[in-house]
Amino acid sequence: MIEQLRAIVGPAHVLTDPDVTASYERDWTGRFGGRAAAVVRPANTDEVAAVLRACHEAGHAVVPQGGNTGLVGGGVPRQGEVVLSLRRLDAMEPVDTVAAQVTVGAGVTLAAVQQHVRARGFDVGVDFAARDSATIGGLVATNAGGERVLRYGMTRASVVGIEAVLADGSVVSRMHGLPKDNVGYDLASLVVGSEGTLAVVTRVRLRLVPLLTERVTALLAVDSTAAALALLAHLRACLSTLECAEVFYAAGVDLVCAATGRPHPFGTNHTHPAYVLIECAARHDPSDELMAALATVPDQAGVRDSAIAVAGPAREALWAYREHHTEAINRAGVPLKLDVAVPLAVFAAFEAELRATVAEVAPDAELHLFGHLNEGNLHVNILAAGDRAEALTEAVLTLTAGRGGSISAEHGVGVAKARWLPLCRGAADVAAMTSVKRALDPGGILNPGVLFA
């Protein structure tokens, strides 16, 4: 098997030395990983297809891997799989400025694509902090979210074509970038978010958005989550330039200020109950539109204070209160991390229920919430969970599902949440997904253990 793989990709690209394979075998949190039979680094689609044919014939399991920035164990080996690293598929075609699209290899990082298309006046509709490591293939396989979902949707909305290798090594290619193409099932949308269980993405054609360089950022202190939602509804109704709406809370801001030495926002030495960070972006300066919108905020939005920034460093200073959450929490301990979303209609009540649930299940734990307001998406970070981690996970995910929510808003299911899948997918739904999986990967070689427990 290993010899066969060496013949396909060249001996230099089949890694078996534990010192060399180590970084492919464990995720960056250190939470997930195992030994790989080998790490194979194909150079192109043909080599990916040959590797999969070989593994398919041998019945050997394969774990596709991009930048290895996942959080749910979906891209690292568990027990002797072949790790198929796509990073060498890093070609980028010139930007198609007529169609506003670009074709790139699965192994290109998000940051590299951003740089490539921004030079031509375009941008990618997806952005998030791991941009320097996360690859386009990984974004597609996990349907990555991030901070611009409000305006541009999840990664699926940015994918206008994919080339992917099926489990048996056959290649499906829909790379013409047609915005209208009603010829059969949308296999691209099916593969997006399938976490490497249906096909290996080798090339992607992305829909681009205009590069919007004029930006204004505002940080608003509000009374509560309900107030934050009223504020969002108002802003969404009058701002066509709204791009981000992040939410976070008093305890998180205290932690960020302590960890980074920053002053509390608004020149006070105390925190407010909740904060909303918004950003508008346009071709022309969107400040006036934002000021006008803020001047008419309804009473129930309970805005206590606000700060607005246009210049880059001033905007970054406001973003820092949101972006340093992860680092500040990690400094305080090893958090239990969950990623949930609920319908906006129940979001305010859910936030309160979530706090009550955590307090009940683990009275000594410390809960930090932050996330993406418009999608009802909270990143749940629990410090000092002690031996209550499993009980907390069950309680939080059960509460979420009971409120019509998702147990994985943007991180994916991976191996981490596979056993919880039935919490928010009915029996007919799981049966349908399982039958699609069997149809496209009858041997079950693609990422076994991911998605389905």
CA–CA separation, 74 vs 59, rounded Å?
Answer: 20
- Closest to a second copy by CB, 2 or 432: 432
Shortest distance (Å) from residue 33 CB to a second copy:
21
Binding residue (CB under 8 A) for a second copy from 174, 315, 368, 388:
174
Is 75 a residue that touches a second copy (CB under 8 A)?
no
Binding residue (CB under 8 A) for a second copy from 117, 341, 362, 373:
341
416-445: contacts with a second copy (CB under 8 A) = 417, 421, 424-433, 435-440
399 interacts with a second copy by CB under 8 A: no
Query: What is the rounded CA–CA span in Å between residue 325 and residue 331?
Result: 10
Taking residues 306 to 335 in sequence order and writing x for each that binds a second copy by CB under 8 A, - otherwise, the string is: ------------------------------
Out of 411, 446, 447, 448, point to the residue binding a second copy (CB under 8 A).
Answer: 411
CA distances from 178 to 200, 205, 316, 387 (A): 22, 10, 37, 52
Q: How far is the CB of 37 from a second copy (least distance, A)?
A: 26
Sign of dihedral through CA atoms 216, 209, 412, 128?
Answer: negative
What residue spans of 305-369 are helical by DSSP H? Answer: 312-323, 325-332, 347-361
From 3-11, 130-138, 142-150, 253-261, span contacting a second copy (CB under 8 A): 142-150
- The correct pick among 7, 129, 258, 345 for binding a second copy (CB under 8 A) is 345
Cβ 116 to a second copy shortest distance, Å: 18
Between helices 225-238 and 347-361, what is the axis angle to 10°?
A: 150
Closest C-alpha among 84, 71, 28, 144 to residue 417: 71
> Of 324, 338, 358, which Cα lies nearest the Cα of 252?
324
217 vs 374, beta carbon nearer a second copy: 374
Options 16-24, 107-115, 296-304, 339-347: segment touching a second copy (CB under 8 A): 339-347
**Residues 145 and 372 sit within 8 Å (Cβ to Cβ):** yes
* Distance (Å, whole) CA 209 – CA 124: 6
Helix axes 389-402, 347-361, angle to 10 degrees: 160
Q: With binding defined as CB under 8 A, does residue 92 bind a second copy?
A: no
70: contact with a second copy by CB under 8 A? no
22 forms part of the interface with a second copy (CB under 8 A): no
Judged by CB under 8 A, which of 22, 111, 112, 172 binds a second copy? 172
* Binding residue for a second copy, selected from 30, 179, 267, 363, defined by CB under 8 A: 179
The least distance separating a second copy from the CB of residue 163, rounded to whole angstroms, comes to 10
CB nearer to a second copy: pick between 1 and 430: 430
Would you say 67 and 108 are in contact if contact means Cβ atoms under 8 Å apart? no
94 makes contact with a second copy (CB under 8 A): no
One DSSP character per residue, 59-127 reads T--EEEESSS--SSSSSS-SSSEEEEE-TT---BPPPBTTTTEEEEETTSBHHHHHHHHHTTTEEES--
* Among 111, 233, 308, 320, contact with a second copy (rule: CB under 8 A): 233
Choose, by CB under 8 A, the member of 406, 445, 448, 449 that binds a second copy.
406
Choice from 407, 415, 416, 445 touching a second copy (CB under 8 A): 407
Nearest CB to a second copy, comparing residues 76 and 407: 407
295 binds a second copy (CB under 8 A): no
Q: Which of 43, 58, 92, 190 binds a second copy (CB under 8 A)?
A: 190
Residue by residue, DSSP assigns 364-428 as T-EEEEEEEGGGTEEEEEEES-GGGHHHHHHHHHHHHHHTT-BSBSSS--TTTSGGGHHHHS-HH
By CB under 8 A, residue 288 contacts a second copy: no
Single out the residue of 145, 252, 265, 302 in contact with a second copy (rule: CB under 8 A). 145
Q: How far is the CB of 294 from a second copy (least distance, A)?
A: 16
Q: H-type helices in 163-238, by residue range?
A: 187-191, 225-238
Query: With CB under 8 A as the contact rule, which of the stretches 63-71, 330-338, 382-390, 408-416 interacts with a second copy?
Result: 408-416
Burial class (CB in 10 A: 0-12, 13-18, 19+), 29: middle
Q: How far is CA 95 from CA 102, 116, 121, 158, in A?
A: 5, 8, 10, 15
Among 19, 30, 59, 98, binds a second copy (CB under 8 A): 98
Among 22, 111, 112, 157, binds a second copy (CB under 8 A): 157
Q: Based on the shown chain and the rule CB under 8 A, indicate whether residue 270 belongs to the binding site for a second copy.
A: no
Say whether residue 364 binds a second copy (CB under 8 A). Answer: no
**Half-sphere exposure (Cβ direction) of 328: Cα atoms closer than 13 Å:** 22
Which residue of 79, 115, 186, 391 would you call a contact of a second copy, by CB under 8 A? 186
287-290 long-range contacts, CB within 8 A, separation 24+: 287/216, 289/238, 289/239, 289/240, 289/241, 290/216, 290/218, 290/239, 290/241
Give Cα 357 distance to the centre of its chain.
26
